Structures are given as C-alpha cells and as structure tokens.
C-alpha cells in the first residue's frame, strides 16, 4: 500500500479481486451444470478447488486485520462503513477455516455433485450415500470450526453464511407459527378447490424450442436484459453468473409447459435482483445481495405473487395460446389461473404449490439440523424423510428419486440453506403487499404485462439497497414491520379461499 492509498481503498481493491475470482468460479460451476462433458469432471474439480483456495487465501490475508483497524479511523460514509462491516463479517467466516479444509470441502462437494447426478435418475441412494457421508463429515468440521470462531451453535454457524444474524431460534418461531396455520388452512383450501370445476390441462406436446421462445417472451416482459444474461438447460434449475452476466437455467417437459415456464419466471426474479444491485458498489461486499432469503423473496415475488396472479395471467394467456397454437377453454385465463394455483400435496419440492411448499422446507430443515447434530445417520435418511413426508403432507414417496435424492443442496454441501426458501416466501408476500400499498397501480400494470412500477419500487427498496442494511432493518424500512407470517397467511387466504 502506497503512502497515498488509504487503508479503506486498499481493502476495496482486495475485495474486488476476491469478487473476480468468485465470479470465475461461478461461471465454471454454471458450465459444469449445463454443458460440460462428463469426462471433464475430474479436471473441473481441480479447477474449482484451486480457485477456492485462491479465494480463501485472499480472504484470509494476514494483512486484513490491520487494514480493518486503520480503515475504522478514516472518515467513511454510510455505504463505505457498511462495506467495511461486511468485509469483517466475511473475514470472520473465512478465517475460521484453513486452506486444507476449504480444499477438502470443494473436492467433497464436486464428488457429491457427480454422485448425485448419477444416483438421482437411477434411484440409487446406496450408491450416493458414501459421497453424502463424505460431504457431511467435512461440513460438520466446518460447523465446528465456525462455532469456535463465531461463538454460534454449529447449525447457526452454517445458517449465518446464508442468512446473516438469523439463527435457528428465529426460524423455529416462524416455522412454528406456520405449522399452527397450515394444516387447517390446507384442508379448507382443498375443500374450496373441490367445490370448483377442476382446471383443464392444455394438451401437448409442447416442443422445447417453443417453450423456450415463450419463456424468453415473458422474461422480457418482466425486464430481463439478454445483453447481460442467458437462458439454458440444466438438471436442476438455478440462477448463477454475475450481476453483469446472469445465467438462468430450467428443465423442460414436452408433455407439460406450465412447470418450466414458471420455473423460468422464478429464476428471472433472482436475475432481476442481481441486475438491480447497486452498480456503484459492484465487486464489493456491500453491493451484493443481502441474504439468500432475500434473494428467494425476489424470485417468489415474481413467480408466486405476480406471475401466478389473475392480472398477469390475463395478459399471458393469449401469448401462451399463440405459442402452442392452442384452442379451447383450457387456454382461458381463468382456467390457467386455477391450474397455476391448484393445491395438491406432491413429492417434489420444486413442483409444490405455495400452500404445501413450506412443509417441504420444514422437513429438510429438521433433517439437516439432525444430521449436523449427529442425531441422524446418512443411512437412516430415506426412512426419516419418508416418515416426515407422511407426517407433514400425508404422502410417502415410492422411490428415493422422488424423496431424499431430489435436491442437489446436500450433495453440494449447502447445509443451512433450506430455511431460506420459506423465509423468502414470507418476505415476498410482505414486500409485494407493501409495494401495492405504495403503488396502487401495480395490479393494473400487470394486466398489461408491465412490470415497470413494481420493478421501480423493488429497485428503490430492495435491489438498490444491496447489503447496506441488515435483513431485519431492510424489511422494516421497506414494509413497516419485521419479517413475520401475517402477510403470507393473508395472501394464501385471499388467493385460495376467496
């Protein structure tokens, strides 16, 4: 650092380098999941491990604590001070782990990912179990190290990486509130549904190229910029890349276009958040998304709150019909609305309706906590999964492919991630309600496929805030109250009982 360079400026430069390395690793991961030939797996694992070690070395540089201390004494504005806070938080997480453990995590996750991709279609949990045991072992080691460094319980130390400042105690309170509400509500929603004509499913086939074209058309309506992003195919839909090069993936079924389309719109919500993050703080911690739960709130706000609503489906129905040369009552907006809001307990989380989805998350949350605590062995996971599905939704998966093999998260080492899905659903309902109160013209705009008013509000109150605020403060400023279940429950009642 030269005499004319402030400590804070030196920190910004260092964290920009870390961001570039992380971005490169993200692109390699996208390629791995979309188009990399199977034979490239070993080489890709080496590349990912090497980049992970480089990123860790940058994040744990012994010079950082002195730079933090010096920067604290400099005159900083609110954004700079928040950036310094986020740098310190990342440093605390990074220094909890040594380079050897980081490399072992990366290698175990790469092997777990590859094993999962082979086991899931083959319904081969026994073949996947050794890889999952290896992943769990290193993740428990990570949890132990972070427990010591952060002063948090093991599971909380993992959750903090995705949802900073939010622990299992807070999750338990919110999930308990949902559990008190959902069983009775599910029964009432199903009874109300039975009193209506069953929706008619449009007849296929639906060629993949037409499905893709339809997805692109509606992505553009939401505001996705294809000069800064792509739409591709993967086994498990996701949104990755960087804010300036956002990569969306989906999976198609030629017998049913409805799932892939809403999957595309869901990932578009993630992409719009990434694109809306403050450009002035690109490649700095404060310029990144506030939390995983907040990220999920943006995808669910677009998919569930906006795109499954009557207003948007009134706009989209003729476009869907035209895309597949459809005809008849199945393509009527009211039928598509009933189809897209149909409630039915299902084995697959990503296909679940918004009423039963929280049960999928609560199950995974409890199972992963038990595995981290050592109370659930990997070999006992299929049975525990099936017991939980029966208790929470009254159904039992006939295969592990439809059960504990369906998600990639644990294979990739992402323990502590699952609660953020339902935290995001609650935040989405709360934010959408606040947006409509502030901008009453949003529903009418959605009738014409115009997301401009909604996006403008989100840009101002969520996207453009980056990580300036903590998630609780961001929610309180944007909606007037902390995260809770009331808005989500009110949304479900309005949609499914009216």
Distance CA 346, CA 349 (A): 7
Between the CA of residue 119 and those of 15, 108, 240, 285, 359, what are the distances in Å? 38, 16, 24, 37, 25
CA proximity to 312, closest of 475, 432, 174: 432
pLDDT the model gives residue 327: 94
Q: Are 269 and 291 in contact (CB under 8 A)?
A: no
384 Cβ neighbours under 8 A, 6+ residues apart: 367, 370, 376
Question: Residues 360-383: what's their mean pLDDT?
Answer: 98
Mind listing the pLDDT tens digit for each residue in 316-349? 999 999 999 999 999 999 999 999 999 999 999 9
Two structure tokens written together for 80: 């700079």
Residue 280 has pLDDT above 50, yes or no: yes
Mind listing the pLDDT tens digit for each residue in 45-70? 899 989 988 998 999 999 999 999 99
Q: Are 263 and 235 in contact (CB under 8 A)?
A: no
Q: Are 58 and 89 in contact (CB under 8 A)?
A: no
Two structure tokens written together for 31: 């390629």
Residue 267 a catalytic site member: yes
Mind listing the pLDDT tens digit for each residue in 142-196? 999 999 999 999 999 999 999 998 899 999 999 999 999 999 999 999 999 999 9
| DSSP codes of every residue in 255-307 | T-SHHHHHHHHHHHHHHHHHHHS-GGGTTSGGGS-S-HHHHHHHHHIIIIIII
pLDDT the model gives residue 462: 98
Between the CA of residue 68 and those of 85, 286, 492, what are the distances in Å? 9, 15, 46
Confidence of residue 2 (pLDDT cuts 50, 70, 90): very low
CA proximity to 459, closest of 208, 307, 274: 274
| DSSP codes of every residue in 24-80 | HHHHHHHHHHHT--GGGHHHHHHHHHHHHHHHHHHHT-TTHHHHHHHHHTS---HHH
pLDDT the model gives residue 4: 57
Distance CA 339, CA 333 (A): 10
From 267, 274, 288, 354, the catalytic residue: 267
Domains and CATH numbers, the chain: 7-164 (no CATH), 170-496 (1.10.1370.30)
Taking residue 461's Cβ as centre, other Cβ atoms within 10 Å add up to 18
């Amino acid at each position: 650092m030269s005499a004319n360079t402030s400590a804070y400026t030196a920190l910004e430069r260092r964290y920009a380098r870390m961001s570039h390395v992380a971005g490169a690793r993200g692109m390699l991961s996208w390629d791995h999941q979309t188009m990399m030939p199977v034979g490239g797996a070993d080489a890709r694992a080496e590349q990912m491990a090497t980049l992970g070690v480089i990123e860790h070395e940058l994040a744990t540089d012994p010079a950082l604590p002195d730079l933090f201390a010096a920067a604290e004494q400099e005159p900083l504005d609110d954004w700079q001070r928040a950036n310094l806070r986020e740098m310190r938080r990342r440093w605390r997480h990074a220094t909890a782990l040594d380079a050897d453990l980081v490399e072992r995590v990366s290698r175990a996750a790469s092997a777990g990912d590859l094993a999962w991709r082979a086991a899931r279609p083959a319904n081969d949990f026994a073949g996947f179990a050794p890889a999952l045991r290896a992943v769990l072992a290193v993740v428990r080691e990570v949890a132990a190290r972070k427990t010591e460094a952060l002063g948090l319980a093991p599971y909380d130390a993992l959750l903090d990486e995705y949802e900073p400042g939010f622990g299992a105690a807070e999750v338990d309170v919110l999930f308990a509130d949902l559990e008190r509400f959902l069983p009775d509500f599910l029964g009432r929603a199903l009874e109300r549904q039975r009193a209506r004509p069953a929706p008619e499913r449009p007849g296929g086939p639906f060629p993949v190229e037409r499905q893709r074209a339809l997805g692109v058309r509606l992505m553009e309506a939401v505001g996705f910029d294809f000069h800064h992003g792509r739409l591709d195919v993967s086994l498990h839909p996701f949104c990755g890349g960087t804010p300036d090069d956002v990569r969306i993936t989906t999976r198609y079924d030629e017998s049913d276009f409805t799932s892939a389309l809403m999957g595309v719109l869901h990932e578009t919500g993630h992409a719009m958040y990434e694109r809306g993050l403050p450009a002035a703080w690109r490649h700095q911690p404060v310029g990144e998304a506030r939390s995983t739960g907040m990220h999920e709130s943006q995808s669910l706000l677009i998919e569930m709150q906006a795109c499954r609503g009557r207003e948007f489906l009134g706009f989209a129905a003729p476009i869907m019909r035209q895309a597949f040369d459809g005809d008849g009552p199945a393509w009527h907006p009211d039928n598509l609305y009933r189809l897209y809001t149909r409630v039915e307990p299902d084995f697959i989380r990503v296909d679940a309706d918004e009423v039963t989805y929280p049960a999928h998350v609560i199950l995974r949350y409890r199972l992963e906590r038990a595995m981290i605590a050592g109370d659930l062995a990997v070999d006992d996971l299929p049975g525990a999964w099936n017991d939980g599905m029966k208790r929470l939704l009254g159904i039992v998966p006939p295969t592990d492919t439809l059960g504990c093999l369906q998600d990639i998260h644990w294979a990739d080492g992402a323990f502590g991630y699952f609660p953020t899905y339902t935290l995001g659903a609650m935040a989405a309902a709360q934010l959408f309600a606040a947006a409509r109160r502030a901008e009453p013209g949003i529903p009418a705009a959605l009738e014409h496929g115009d997301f401009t008013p909604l996006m403008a509000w989100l840009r101002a109150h969520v996207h453009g805030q980056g990580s300036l605020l903590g998630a609780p403060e961001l929610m309180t400023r944007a909606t007037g109250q902390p995260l809770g279940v009331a808005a989500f429950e009110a949304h479900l009642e309005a949609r499914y009982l009216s």
